[in-house]
Amino acid sequence: MHAPTPLAALPVYTTAEVRAIERAAVATEQAPDLMERAGLAAAEIARERLLEGRKSVLVLAGPGNNGGDGFVLARHLKAWWYRVTLLFTGERARLSPDAAAAYDAWLAAGGEIAGELPAEQFDLVVDALFGIGLERDIAGRHAELIQWINRQPAPVLALDIPSGLHADTGRVLGIAAGADHTVTFIALKPGLLTLDGPDHAGEIHVRDLGLAAEALRPAQGRLVGSDVLGSLLPRRRRNSHKGTYGSVGIVGGAPGMAGAGLLAGRAALRLGAGRVYLGMLDADAPSVDLGQPELMLRQAEEVLAIEHLTCLVVGPGLSQSPQARSAVAVALERELPLVLDADALNLIGAHDALQDVCRARRAPTLLTPHPAEAARLLQATTAEIQADRVAAAVRLAAHYGAAIALKGVGSVLAYPDGHWCINTTGNPGLASAGMGDVLSGILGALIAQGTSSEAALAAGVHLHGAAADALLAPRGGPIGMTGAEVIDAACQLLNRAIYGDVPKM
């Protein structure tokens, strides 16, 4: 399986990959001045988006090339008649040649270097302290400056990445600036999109600096684009029937957890599967779902034996009982697309024999762990998974030969060939019981209707988050959002993506 590139949008590059692109660009016959381009691009965003009717700007320039970008930005804003104060935390003698030239150009333009933070209030604060090369925790004066930034009422514009945020992982290195806007250069970085990145980056603006990054280095990572739904499924033919849209089998619903199975089943049905069979491990489970009587409830072993299934989902409310382990073992042997979630993942992580069968599968396999489940699958700790979410997802995909959705803010999707994507839809309303069950049902429905497993993973995760986003305004916020609401919103969004605002049959 490989990442669904035609359905994805902007490339995402790690720091090492960005450095390789920069080296390739400056090695060309007409080497661009990337620092001049970056500073100008940031200055234009400041002028167009943040300084309407405002005049005073404070630029905090750090000791490296990020500070050099800040000098260029300051020079342009001064030339456009803004009142610019610049505080420099480094030493001119230790700057790179490009940054030193930017420092000198600022002084030549009549700019000055402030030694301490002025007492006045500013209309805009520019964070140019540290860029994507930062690896160590921030301390001392720089930590105090970031604390000061985070207390300011003025909007904050970060250059390339908020200072203190790790560009590859989104980890906070001791302390990180909270930006209202981040202008990032050449391409997106994963740290802006996952873990703590979205809480610090604000609105992200990408400026490629005139470089064709993908021509210089093909991207392994991508952002899941908003167009992912439009080309997902064709309009339905009038001459069709329930068999046209596949049959999903869902296995879960152990005693005390029937709701998880029901949520997954309802999601699969509402998102378009022709038939949904729900296999419950609870022998006393009801034989009908009165809230969704179209679901066909069976015992788990009956659903696992159905021959005409198009896709099988195992895990919602499964438990880790011997019966559940047996169900996972049987499911892994089925030669059809398989979505594994929740306790199915925990069981695989706990039993080497199940891992071996999972890795040996030839039919498509999708694993949708949250960080703790991913840790069990890799015999790691949750902290180790969260320390580098992209690397963890890529490792999972390679180890299990499966498509992975590592859930969380900026869900990371990874494929066995090494490609990966980051999804940015969703909000804290998804931090509620049952949301993962809904996602597994959505994935089953999309696969049952003929979507490839790779595309279904990207589209399903995107749709799940977009549905939660669509609920924010009518609900007034994310608190108290439920899985049932997300199912309804996802159904509406999928129909709108395929048929437009006014369906034409």
Looking only at the bridges linking them, the beta strands covering 412-414 and 420-422 are antiparallel
Which residue intervals of 255-342 are DSSP H helices?
258-270, 300-304, 322-333
Residue 4 lies in a domain: no
What CATH number corresponds to the domain at position 195? 3.40.50.10260
Whether 282 and 196 map to the same domain: the answer is no
Q: Convert the pLDDT of each residue in 195-225 to its tens digit.
A: 999 999 999 999 999 999 999 999 999 999 8
CB–CB of 46/57 below 8 Å?
yes
Whether 232 and 200 map to the same domain: the answer is no
* Whether residue 140 has pLDDT greater than 70: yes
Whether 296 and 158 map to the same domain: the answer is no
Per-residue confidence at 285, pLDDT binned at 50, 70, 90?
Answer: confident
* Whether residue 379 has pLDDT greater than 60: yes
| Token reading at 133 | 């090369």
Per-residue confidence at 504, pLDDT binned at 50, 70, 90?
Answer: low
Domain-terminating residue out of 210, 239, 256: 210
pLDDT of residue 238: 94
pLDDT of residue 5: 40
CB–CB of 225/250 below 8 Å?
no
Whether 191 and 291 map to the same domain: the answer is no
What CATH number corresponds to the domain at position 277? 3.40.1190.20
Residue 1 lies in a domain: no
pLDDT of residue 3: 40
C-alpha angle with apex 484: 481 to 490, nearest 5 degrees? Answer: 90
- As beta bridge partners, residue 182 has 158, 204
pLDDT of residue 503: 58
Q: Convert the pLDDT of each residue in 304-352 to its tens digit.
A: 999 999 999 999 999 999 999 999 999 999 999 999 999 999 999 999 9
The phi, psi pair for 31, rounded to 5°, reads -65, 125
Whether 243 and 197 map to the same domain: the answer is no
- The whole-number average pLDDT for the span 364-377 is 98
Whether 466 and 342 map to the same domain: the answer is yes
* Whether residue 461 has pLDDT greater than 50: yes
Which residue intervals of 46-196 are DSSP H helices?
65-79, 97-108, 140-151
Q: Which of 457, 478, 476, 456 lies closest to 468 in space, CA to CA?
A: 478
Range list of β-strands (E), 99-220: 124-128, 156-159, 181-185, 203-207
Q: Which of 349, 352, 344 lies closest to 312 in space, CA to CA?
A: 344
Whether 168 and 252 map to the same domain: the answer is no
| Token reading at 300 | 């788990």
What's the domain range around 66? Answer: 33-210
For residue 375, give the 3-state DSSP assignment: helix
Element (H, E) at 97: helix 97-108
Q: What is the DSSP code (8-state) at residue 47?
A: I
Whether 287 and 163 map to the same domain: the answer is no
- The whole-number average pLDDT for the span 153-172 is 98
Residue 107 lies in a domain: yes
Whether 118 and 262 map to the same domain: the answer is no
pLDDT of residue 1: 41
Number of domains in the chain: 2
CB–CB of 349/325 below 8 Å?
no
Residue 110 lies in a domain: yes
Q: Does the pTM exceed 0.85?
A: yes
Whether 370 and 317 map to the same domain: the answer is yes
Q: Convert the pLDDT of each residue in 10-68 to its tens digit.
A: 999 999 999 999 999 988 878 889 999 999 999 999 999 899 888 999 999 999 999 99
* Whether residue 381 has pLDDT greater than 60: yes
Q: Which of 377, 381, 373, 341 lies closest to 359 in space, CA to CA?
A: 377
